[in-house]
Structure 1
Amino acid sequence: MKSKLVLFILLAATFSLSAQWKPAGDRIKTRWAAEIDVNNVLPEYPRPIMERSQWQNLNGLWNYAILPVGKQEPTSFDGKILVPFAVESSLSGVQKRVGGDNELWYHREFTVPSNWKNNRILLHFGAVDWKADVWVNDIKVGQHTGGYTPFSFDITPALKSGANKLVVKVWDGTDDGYQPRGKQVNNPHGIWYTPVSGIWQTVWLEPVPEKYIENVKITPDIDKNIISVKACVNGSAPSDKVVVKVMAGSQVVATGQSINNQPVEVSMPANARLWSPNDPFLYDLEVTLVEGAKTVDKVKSYTAMRKFSTKRDDKGIVRLQLNNKDLFQFGPLDQGWWPDGLYTAPTDEALRYDVEKTKDFGFNMIRKHVKVEPARWYMHCDQLGIIVWQDMPNGDKSPEWQMHEYFTGVERLRSPESEANYRKEWKEIIDYLYSYPSVGVWVPFNEAWGQFKTKEIVEWTKQYDPSRLVNPASGGNHYHVGDMLDLHNYPQPRMYLYDGQRATVLGEYGGIGWANKEHLWEPDRNWGYVQFNSSEEVTNEYVKYAEQLKQLIRQGFSAAVYTQTTDVEVEVNGLMTYDRAVVKIDEGRVRKVNQEICNILNN
């Protein structure tokens, strides 16, 4: 009888939580929206590049309130919000705007598991847009600015037994401030989309020992046949030892160790397997911190043996290379937006789906356009074999300034505060993604959007991460720095400039539109660079452009980016509809011509 009563109470609590949430609004949604469990939201481990066995997910229903800037912590709330979906999204259950005159407050309680009592407790945020202040039990534990990167606080001194109170306050001016914000604007139209404010990635707790591994920085070198692993340890002593094991499946294939805070250089077997889109092989890593004879901390990770570079071919054309072989890199412009979750995919299956379809379409690359994804997205690219070109999200301008800059070729003059913030956030993005093998190209500027001090920024990026290529300004004001000249042309591919010293790439083209009436964000103001009315027409136009691209590859293009993976809000030029319900092209025909393009330099 007692067990039945407990089960009844649990079921009643679950029903009560579910009754407090439903998707807001009546716009289109993905099929995954119906699979969300408010008691188990995005339950997958959020940091796959450095994994520990114990953690606690804090996603779920929180209290929220929207108050004018400067108000004190609320004593009552506007309702419930489903974390980690942005307050403007349908899946948050709220779908309200915040704006720069207001602040968004979050509140919940949590209990630390009793078996964590001898550990430090870290509070992690995957991403919060833009400025976050955090309190635990009314004690300020930290502040963070930057909408695209993870951050954490050691909250151990603020904790108490039993229930703990967690409060987060967020301010986000969207396009009213200088901060990077990608395609978000307060007045969505055309290529500009709905704001994303507040928590939009997983919030979680993690127990760690007194001395622990804070980060791992993994650098493969196929020419020297080594993997360098730098373990960043809090409060490390010279005598602390870091031990690295490299595994292929269950077999240990290489080991290495270091002291004095030196990177561990692991010599790989002579037949080390190289990662590529055709063979995305990953080595598992085990990184252990040893103090004396005692194992203090241990994390799991992974890496790949791969190399991104450029080289002049026998016709004198500078080509992009993977693993010292010419490879034409070809993929879609991927904005990573969702009709129900905006910046946040409804489920991990949904997050992986876009990458899987990109592979199905025959591409070998994705340009992640003015957005940074949750860590698991990059893991999916690592596992499936997709090269990533990573954009810096733009900021510090209005759309009117952008177009003025683009046509006049004038670099933006930023305030010292704006410039310092750009550098801070760009460095944090590189640090965040450094160890993910699929990331092959950094793109600090798109077109002329907020472009400033290009030579200086590019040279810093190259120096900070010499293991990757740098695309200085995709389609932007062109300076002879970095590894490539990047042109944009819509709708058809065209080479109107050529660089004999760097790789010449087509960073955007295409934009073939089809407004599929059952799958639109809005019924009216939809657009594409060219418009058609059927899958056959779209596919015919796509293949026509692809055949033109083949000729331009022979003339000098070394990569190309097709716009785009999915429709986004009123843009209807996706290979799929915004809700991912319809593939808008003949997949077989597109895959065939795409594979021909990807393999064109190998024939």
Structure 2
Amino acid sequence: MDIRRMLASRLRTHDRRDPLPLWTPWGEGLRAGAEKAGKAERGAGPGADGSEGRSGAGALTGHPHPQFVRAAWGSLNGWWACAFAPSPGGAAPERTAPMPTTFPQRIRVPFSPEAPLSGVGRQLKPDELLWYRRSFAAPAPEAGERLLIHFDAVDYACACYVNGRLAGTHAGGYLPFSFDVTDLLAPGEGDELTLCVRDPSDTEPHPRGKQLLQCGTIWYTAQSGIWQDVWWEVVPGNRIEELLVDASPDAGDVTVAARVTRPGEELRVSLLSADGTPVACGSAVASEQSVAVRVPVSTPHLWGPADPYLYGLRIAYGVDEVTSYCAFRTVSVEPDEAGVPRFCLNHQPLFLRGLLDQGYWPDGLLTAPGTDALSADIEAARDLGFNMLRKHIKVEQDRWYWLCDRAGMLVWQDMVSGGTAPYNMWQVSQKPTLSRHACGHFRDDVPSHQARLSSADPAFREEWTRDCEGSLRYLRNHPCIVTWVLFNEGWGQFCARDAVRRVRAIDPTRPIDATSGWFDQRCGDYESEHNYFRKLRVHRPRGSSRAFVISEFGGLSWYVEGHSSFLGSYGYADFKSVGEWRAAVRALLAEADALEARGLAGYVYTQLSDVEEETNGLLSYDRRVDKLSS
């Protein structure tokens, strides 16, 4: 297929139809269990009064944040009551709208109303509000304790009420937040939690990832509302609020830095072996609201894909105690023996064989239908011969990174893109796809260029920067994350050089892919190219200290009937048989592998699974078919 035909294949848009019912094995089990429980509970269900249902909370198991665990917590996932209401308009209507008098529907949290697993199956429109309500019973805080309500992600803006009184507000669709609701509780009575949500989706330039209200091709169904865990936690008044863990094999120590509520207590750190045996310990008294403890470790057990060894951590501050974990490993870009820049793990070159991972599911959209589903994706990638996943334009739930930490799966973590919609696809996709030279020397700090990259709005740039820094602080303790990816294909790109400086100031320990695809600003640690329609080559400038990676390629499409959400198929090349498709995929991967000898540091094949119309995954969208191996 010549380049003109291939480009036309990439750019064509199919007629939209309603999605076909499609369930993953985990989602089907959850649905069946809910239907069975619903029959037993009919007539007194949470859809009527918002009370806590007995079904639906088992999809996502274990503590929501395995790196920051306290004993006193409980899940608020499950059935809530909900109501859709017209937005009154104006600024931040989620904060000013009157609460509905009735909540006639029920919704399974943490699935968005657009997701089949929510039980709603309805799009929240930009001119609407979605109200949630449920009762909850958490242990009454004792003297000096506080009760926090955690929301791990709500898309996009929300206001939270406890017993009809405002607990707090939040804006931003991908990062966790919490409210201290202690002073709003009704002692001896049942407590009620209410949340009002507004989601403008792509009608405003907020970071939104690959969500579009009019989805199709490489853009997916917009989702809204609560889409990650909701949970309560009882905490001491004087407590650890944030941890930064730096386990350095080069320095021979682990340093635990804590931000605390009030100074004056002793921070005590114990390092444990994988079987729980104490290895080393240390302590320091907090004279300010931040304190660090260095624990020497003379011969640490290194972490890597073949041996993902994790140490346990027990951290106490006064009466507060948190359990966590860490891993000793270094990641860097260094020259090999021939002087070629390579990605290095523990100072040894490691060739990166990666897959693009969108993190979408037909029954849960951005929310996986279970912890086992998350684990199955990671295991499938490893079984197919890949050692890295590029989490694409999404911040995943914390459990996913924990599973990658345990499995030794390396992660390239994208920042969530946004900007004025629709993107200028000729500028940010079609022209660079046709010719790699078409996008050279295109500055991203010039106002006229930022307009062409959909990043001219200063409020968007400020929000993207805030979310980028928040993502780093949220995820930086996970050893699996080995590279930060800042901008993708010019979607809302701006001032990449400044962004690199800010990221390095927060995390100097990881390499940075500043501009994945094109519009390179000569910064970061990688020359990062997307190449779907040209012969794969290494284009590393002579004398460059940056490693060359093909950060997207492939996208070869094969449609599996009965395992896709839509009758239409979208991909970057067509094949007459599955055998022909498999041969083409394997040949292309072998071609990329062979470039290691010519200076390629790694690659990312598109992609792990099909997503809606995109049928270029190695797995089907419902994860029931391994297209490459079966």
**TM-score (ref. length: structure 2):** 0.85
Post-superposition offset of 1:501:
2.0
Report the counterpart of residue 216 of structure 1 in structure 2: 243
Give the equivalent residue in structure 2 for 1:205. 232
Tell me, what secondary structure is at the counterpart of 2:382? helix
CA contact 1:402–1:450 (8 Å) conserved in 2: no
1:271 to partner: Cα distance = 2.3
Partner amino acid, structure 2, of 1:272: P
User: What SS class does the counterpart of residue 472 from structure 1 fall into?
Assistant: strand
Match of 1:309 among 322, 328, 332: 332
Aligned twin of 2:292: 263
Match of 1:125 among 151, 164, 168: 151
Q: Counterpart of 2:369?
A: 346
Structure 2 CA distance for aligned equivalents of residues 54 and 197 of structure 1: 29
Are the aligned partners of 1:103 and 1:169 in contact in 2 as well (CA < 8 Å)?
yes
Once the two structures are TM-superposed, the CA of residue 532 in structure 1 deviates from its matched residue by 2.6
CA distance in 1 between partners of 2:352 and 2:534 (Å): 18
The equivalent residue for 1:30 is 24
Question: 1:531 maps to what in 2?
Answer: 574
Q: Which amino acid aligns with 2:493?
A: Q
Q: 2:565 aligns with which of 505, 521, 543?
A: 521
Residue of structure 2 in register with 1:470 after alignment: 512
Q: Does 1:240 align with 2:265?
A: yes
Alignment partner of 1:367: what SS?
Answer: strand
**What is the CA distance between 1:493 and its match in structure 2?**
5.9
Change (3 A) 1:405 1:543: closer
Greater Cα shift, 206-215 or 398-407: 398-407
C-alpha distance in 2 between matches for 1:139 and 1:386: 44
Query: Is 1:69 paired with 2:87?
Result: yes
Give, in angstroms, the shift of residue 464 of structure 1. 1.4
Q: For residue 541 of structure 1, what is the aligned residue in structure 2? A: 584
CA distance, structure 2, for counterparts of residue 40 and residue 135 of structure 1? 22
State the 1:345 CA deviation: 0.8
1:82 is matched with 108
**Contact 1:67/1:103 (<8 A) preserved:** yes
Question: 303-312 or 543-552: which moved more?
Answer: 543-552
| Alpha-carbon offset, residue 398 of structure 1 | 2.2
1:20 match: none
2:57 matches 1:40:
yes
Report deviation, 1:512.
1.5
Between the aligned partners of 1:267 and 1:414, the Cα distance in structure 2 is: 48
What are the residue-to-residue correspondences of 1:223-302 with 2, within 5 Å?
Answer: 223-234=250-261, 236-237=262-263, 239-248=264-273, 249-259=275-285, 260=287, 261-268=290-297, 270-290=298-318, 296-302=319-325
In structure 2, how many angstroms separate the alpha carbons of the residues matched to 1:490 and 1:117?
Answer: 61
For residue 137 of structure 1, what is the amino acid of its counterpart? N
| CA distance in 1: counterparts of 2:379 and 2:533, whole angstroms | 25
SS of match in other structure, 2:70: coil
SS in 1 for 2:466: helix
Give the aligned residue type for 1:100: P
Shift of residue 331, structure 1, vs aligned partner: 1.3
Matches within 5 A, 1:365-376: 365-376=388-399
SS at match of 2:590: helix
Contact 2:110 2:229 in 1 (8 A): yes
Kindly state the Cα deviation for residue 380 of structure 1 after the two structures are TM-superposed. Answer: 0.3
Aligned-residue offset at 1:68: 1.6
Quote the Cα distance in structure 2 between the aligned partners of 1:78 and 1:475.
Answer: 47
User: Offset at 1:43?
Assistant: 3.6
Task: Give the distance between the partners of 1:532 and 1:97, measured in 2 at CA.
Answer: 35
Give me the whole-angstrom Cα distance separating, in 2, the residues matched to 1:539 and 1:557: 23
Q: Percent same amino acid among aligned pairs? A: 37
3-state SS of 2:424 partner: helix
* Contact residue 459 and residue 482 of structure 1 kept, 8 A: no
Give the Cα–Cα distance (whole angstroms) in 2 for the partners of residues 522 and 63 of structure 1. 30
Three-state SS of the structure 2 residue aligned to 1:105 is strand
- Contact in 2 for aligned 1:242/1:264 (Cα 8 Å): yes
- Offset from partner CA, 1:114-136 (integer Å, 9 cap, x none): 57676210000111011111111
Report if aligned partners of 2:259, 2:291 keep a CA contact under 8 Å in 1: no
Q: 3-state DSSP class of the match of 2:116?
A: coil
User: What SS does the aligned partner of 1:519 have?
Assistant: coil
Contact 1:536 1:586 in 2 (8 A): no
Runs of 4 or more, structure 1, over 6 Å off, are: none
Given residue 63 of structure 1, which amino acid in structure 2 is its aligned partner? A
1:406-425 equivalences in 2 (<5 Å): 406=429, 407=431, 409=442, 410-411=449-450, 412=453, 413-425=455-467
Q: Could you say what secondary structure the match of 1:512 adopts?
A: coil
Corresponding position: 1:183 with 2:210 = yes
1:313 and 1:231 mapped to 2: Cα distance? 37
| Residue 59 (str. 1) matches residue 77 (str. 2) | yes
- Compute the RMSD of aligned alpha carbons: 1.7
One-letter amino acid of the structure 1 residue matched with residue 158 of structure 2: A
**In the aligned structure 2, how far is the partner of 1:39 from the partner of 1:188?**
28
Match for 2:587: what amino acid? K
Answering whether residue 629 of structure 2 is matched by residue 586 of structure 1, we say yes
Answer yes or no: is the 8 Å Cα contact 1:485–1:502 preserved in 2: yes
Q: Within 1, Cα distance between the matches of 2:56 and 2:569?
A: 37
Correspondence for 2:178: 152
Counterparts of 1:568 and 1:80 in 2: how far apart (Å)? 27
For residues 315-338 of structure 1, the C-alpha deviation after alignment (integer angstroms, 9 at most, x for no partner) is 221111000100011110000000
Deviation at 1:384, TM superposition (A): 0.3
Does the 8 A contact of 1:491 with 1:530 survive in 2? no
1:451 aligns with 2:493: yes
Q: Is the CA contact (8 Å cut-off) linking 2:419 and 2:457 kept in structure 1?
A: no
CA distance in 1, matches of 2:376, 2:61: 17
| Contact 1:536/1:585 (8 A) holds in 2 | no
Unaligned runs of 5+ in 1: 1-23, 291-295, 588-603
Deviation at 1:428, TM superposition (A): 1.0
How far, CA to CA, are the matches of 2:428 and 2:590 in structure 1?
A: 33
1:139 maps to 2:165: yes
Q: How many residues align?
A: 555
Q: Does 1:108 align with 2:108?
A: no
**Selected match of 1:479 from 509, 521, 538:** 521
Distance, in Å, in 2 between the alignment partners of 1:169 and 1:508 is 38
* Residue of structure 1 aligned with 2:118, choices 92, 102, 114: 92
Question: CA shift at 1:146, angstroms?
Answer: 1.2
Post-superposition CA distance 1:80-128 (Å, at most 9, x none): 0111001111001111111211111111111222576762100001110
Structure 2: unaligned runs, 5 residues or longer? 1-17, 34-54, 89-96, 432-438, 443-448
Deviations 1:514-549 (A, max 9, x none): 1001211111x2121112354432221122112211
Q: Tell me which amino acid in the other structure corresponds to 2:219.
A: W
Partners of 1:172 and 1:583 lie apart in 2 by 35
Structure 2 residue 401 is matched with structure 1 residue 378: yes
The alignment's TM-score, normalised by the length of structure 1, stands at: 0.89
